[in-house]
């Protein structure tokens, strides 16, 4: 007689980038073991396993390789909360050098987006660009290597359209060299407009206040990005 297979609960989540409601399930013990093993692997392998895990737990309904990086982070934190537990233990060192231990609720992590944030950026009065959010693997790649060439390449890849008052150019119809040439014609202030897109784009954040148990100082702790929640 075959052993029974346990039913897995299903939850719903709003995708931050689009507002679309998606369904997901917690990851299973076998998947958790793979995830733990991944922590000892190269960054590229961790990224692959993490995306595969999210793909499986969202019933292969999402194209995870094209999702914005903060979508992936948000889905994973909710997966982790429903699979292992909403609370996780962290620590921080106060200015008095005392290490404080405390717990946070993962479900309190939110996607923070400035009210005036837009993906359509006017470079001059007549020329603008439409940007897309970088994908998870692109962000990880940049964290690994902050060389100027890679940053320029990422910016080029994230430009979806270049437009004027009269015409719109889809960058998929242009060569990489042409787009790089377009960027290299920018002044420093114009290029900073694109940099600000990346600096201010939505991000996963959990902000809390904690009083040091040693000196009594109140510290504001800001956790950002998946690296702070991958526990």
Residue 97 per-residue DSSP state = S
Shared-domain flag, residues 128 and 193? yes
Shared-domain flag, residues 61 and 96? no
Residue at 6 is within a domain: no
Cβ atoms 106, 87 nearer than 8 A: yes
**Model-wide pTM > 0.75:** yes
Shared-domain flag, residues 184 and 217? no
Backbone angles phi, psi at 84, to 5 degrees: -115, -40
SS3 assignment, position 65: helix
SS3 assignment, position 110: strand
Tens of pLDDT along the chain (231 residues) come to 666 666 789 999 999 999 999 999 998 888 888 877 776 777 778 888 889 999 999 999 999 999 999 999 999 999 999 998 898 888 889 999 999 998 889 899 999 988 889 999 999 999 999 999 999 988 887 776 667 788 889 999 999 999 999 999 999 999 999 999 999 999 999 999 999 999 999 999 998 889 999 999 999 988 887 666 554
Helices (H), the chain: 29-38, 43-57, 69-83, 136-144, 148-158, 176-184, 188-200
The parent domain of residue 97 ranges over 90-112+205-228
pLDDT value at position 227? 62
Shared-domain flag, residues 155 and 211? no
Backbone angles phi, psi at 207, to 5 degrees: -115, 130
Residue at 83 is within a domain: yes
pLDDT in tens, 56-87: 999 999 999 999 999 999 999 999 999 988 98
The Cα–Cα gap between 73 and 44 comes to: 16
Q: Which residues contact 202 (CB under 8 A, 6 or more apart)?
A: 16, 17, 68, 70, 111, 112, 113, 117, 133
Shared-domain flag, residues 99 and 161? no
Shared-domain flag, residues 75 and 16? yes
Residue at 215 is within a domain: yes
């Amino acid at each position: 007689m075959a052993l029974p297979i346990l039913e897995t609960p299903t939850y719903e989540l709003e995708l931050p980038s689009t507002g679309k409601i998606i369904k997901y399930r917690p990851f299973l013990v076998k998947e958790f073991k793979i995830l733990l093993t991944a922590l000892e692997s190269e960054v590229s392998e961790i990224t692959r396993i993490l995306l595969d895990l999210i793909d499986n737990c969202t019933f292969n309904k999402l194209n995870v390789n094209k999702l914005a990086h903060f979508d992936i982070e948000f889905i994973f934190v909710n997966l982790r909360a429903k699979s292992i537990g909403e609370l996780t233990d962290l620590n921080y060192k106060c200015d008095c050098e005392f290490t404080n231990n405390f717990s946070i609720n993962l479900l309190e992590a939110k996607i923070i987006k400035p009210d005036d944030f837009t993906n359509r950026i006017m470079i001059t009065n007549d020329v603008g660009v439409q940007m897309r959010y970088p994908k998870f693997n692109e962000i990880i790649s940049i964290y690994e290597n902050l060389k100027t060439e890679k940053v320029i390449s990422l910016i080029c890849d994230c430009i979806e359209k270049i437009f004027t008052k009269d015409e719109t150019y889809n960058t998929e119809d242009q060569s990489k060299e042409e787009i790089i040439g377009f960027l290299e014609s920018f002044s420093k202030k114009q290029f900073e407009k694109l940099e600000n897109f990346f600096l201010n784009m939505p991000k996963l954040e959990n902000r809390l206040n904690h009083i040091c148990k040693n000196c009594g100082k109140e510290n504001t702790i800001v956790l950002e990005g998946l690296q702070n929640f991958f526990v």
